[in-house]
Amino acid sequence: MLQAIHSKLDELYPEMVDIRRYLHQYPEVSFQETETAQYIANYYKTLSIPYETNVGGNGVIATLTGGKPGKTVALRADFDALPIQDEKNVPYKSKVDGVMHACGHDGHTASLLTLAKTMKEFQDELPGTILFLHQHAEEYAPGGAKPIIESGALDNADAVFGTHLWTPTPLGVLQTSKDVFMAGPDRFEIIVQGQGGHGGYPHDTKDAITIGAQMVTQLQQIVSRRLDPLKTAVVSVGQFEAGNAFNVIADKARLVGTVRYLDNDVQEQVIQEMEKIIKGICLSHNVSYSFNYEKGYPPLVNNEQDAELVFQAANHVSAIHTSEEVKPVMAGEDFAYYTMEKPGAYFFTGARKEDSPYPHHHPMFDIDERAIPTAAKTLIATYLEYQKQ
């Protein structure tokens, strides 16, 4: 059956591309994906596959019950976009100003929709039940995974699997981990309230810029000098906003950044060290401050046995020539909530476009669309491997 399924997916490749390119032209950011959700629901309606909308927000879940007994497994694809201006010169460039699919979620959706269309034809031969899980708001915490779980929609699921079209990885390569796979991504904001004044009279001021600059420098020492060298973390300041004139010393500075970690004890240590540094610097300059730390998604930890099933499934996908167990990456994913609640695993499907070497979340981001059927083939192969247990 698997070979026949894969052949059908190959036949649907043009439709996969059409879906992906349509969604690419009409992206919607996290928590605002109403039209995308409706597009997904309409697709299942035409297939006569039962579906539920507004799951945990804008989520959509379709249910295909096979003709043979088996387990219930959710296959997940996210569908939100990012607040980035699309700068590619392609026919399918985003038509929405300031919004684009810069992470491949349009490809994820195309992959899962056409997989559903394929499996509808094989429904009588299918063991178990597939939950086609279309998740909103992966890009922005608190995300869509947690409210979907809290809705109870996955209570009867035995496992959850998902993949990410991953452009750092070449086409034909599958990557995953049998343990921690992706980092926990947190966000912080620091506001320094100094005392502004004339640029020629710095002694009468409390310069928020120089104070903020000291914070940027010393925060880097948390990883290099305060953490165990065998532990992993990232502390990055991504925004530094202060001042509005060349001859005025700024009275306020705003620093916004991210912390990435793999172990919960490291997360807590980083928070404590940040508080010490910020408080100490502000105390020494006699200024006030606020420090807001927002914990994001937890680290994504794969179930070892289920990650092994992904590797076994990859052996049945001719488009995959290399399967690799890799070290964790410091990007985050709210798929982490699923594997906290259910068995399952997440993996990368190589999607590098050789003439477009731009990273995820870049205005020129694009994927090799030949990875879309590879993702679908691997998901259904994993599903069938799981049913054998």
Alpha helix positions (H), the chain: 2-11, 13-25, 34-47, 105-121, 145-150, 208-221, 264-285, 304-314, 336-341, 371-387
Answer for the pair 35, 136: CB distance below 8 angstroms, yes or no. no
CB 108, CB 79: distance < 8 Å: yes
> Any idea which residues carry the catalytic annotation?
80, 138
How far apart are alpha carbons 63 and 337 in whole angstroms? 21
Other beta carbons within 10 angstroms of residue 161's beta carbon come to 31
- How many Cβ atoms from other residues are within 10 Å of residue 97's Cβ? 8
State how far the Cα of 208 lies from the Cα of 192, in Å rounded to an integer: 6
How is residue 253 written in tokens? 């500075």
CA–CA separation, 295 vs 188, rounded Å?
9
